[in-house]
Amino acid sequence: AQSVSQHNHHVILSEAASLELGCNYSYGGTVNLFWYVQYPGQHLQLLLKYFSGDPLVKGIKGFEAEFIKSKFSFNLRKPSVQWSDTAEYFCAVFSTDSWGKLQFGAGTQVVVTP
Amino acid sequence: ETGVTQTPRHLVMGMTNKKSLKCEQHLGHNAMYWYKQSAKKPLELMFVYSLEERVENNSVPSRFSPECPNSSHLFLHLHTLQPEDSALYLCASSQSGTSSRGRGEKLFFGSGTQLSVL
């Protein structure tokens, strides 16, 4: 079945540590890839997106993600996290191969400790 | 299944038609949302309902009219749409905590309605 998988449900790390969140998808066709973030008490916000071109995309707040087509992956990274990065992170895939459906991963809750 | 059901899954309508999108959540949540997702664009928040009261309307044209008759059901009434309104419309729900404005707890999304306006 077509799906979006996020590898970790919960991640706890200290400030200044590096963060990498995995995302794999199983769609074919042309894909648009997104990472969204939901801070406590707020709506979803877009972190970054990939449509085409350079597979390494940079987003807001120092986040970046790399699209590896051969691995069907779109992992999110940040070299040095801050306490304010505590949030839930969602990978999402928009695929032309799935009736244009936007599919979210289950989300990863990230807690950054001071 | 996330507990949020949207119908229809696909809808094709002319610019003079009137149609409605339906969303139902079975999670006991007290906040519901309409989002628009266009190809090559991020999600756009359209409306938020908390405790059946509309608490947010993000400058959405009046040809989109939401209705929330109870905490489990949300509708989006469509009339005289434009071709640029073709998109995936997503419903979501959440359980609001201390805030009565239904903001931002974990969202559960439906599968969406793929709308094409001819």
Q: In this predicted model, what pLDDT tens digit does every residue of A15-65 receive, in sequence order?
A: 999 999 999 998 777 788 889 998 876 667 789 989 889 999 999 999 999
- Whether A86 has its CB under 8 Å from any CB of chain B: the answer is no
- Indicate if the pLDDT at residue B103 is higher than 80: no
Paired with A49 in beta bridges are A34
The whole-number pLDDT of residue B74 equals 96
Phi, psi of B83, rounded to the nearest 5 degrees: -55, -30
Amino acid at position B89, single letter: Y
Measured between alpha carbons, how far is residue B35 from residues A2, A71, B41 in Å?
Answer: 22, 30, 12
Note the pLDDT tens digit of each residue in A62-76: 999 999 999 999 999
- Judging contacts by C-beta atoms under 8 Å, the chain A residues touching residue B40 are 32, 51
- Which is nearest to A40 in space by CA: A99, A78, A89? A89
Interface touch B37/A46, C-beta < 8 Å: no
**Residue B56 pLDDT > 60, yes or no?**
yes
- CA A61: distance to chain centroid? 14
Query: What would the pLDDT profile of B11-25 be if each residue is shown by its tens digit?
Result: 999 988 899 999 999
Number of Cβ within a 10 Å radius of residue A92:
24
Q: Which of B10, B103, B112 sits opposite A43 (nearest CB)?
A: B103
pLDDT (0 to 100) of residue B104: 35
DSSP A98: G
Q: Do B112 and A40 touch (CB under 8 A)?
A: no
Three-state SS for B110? coil
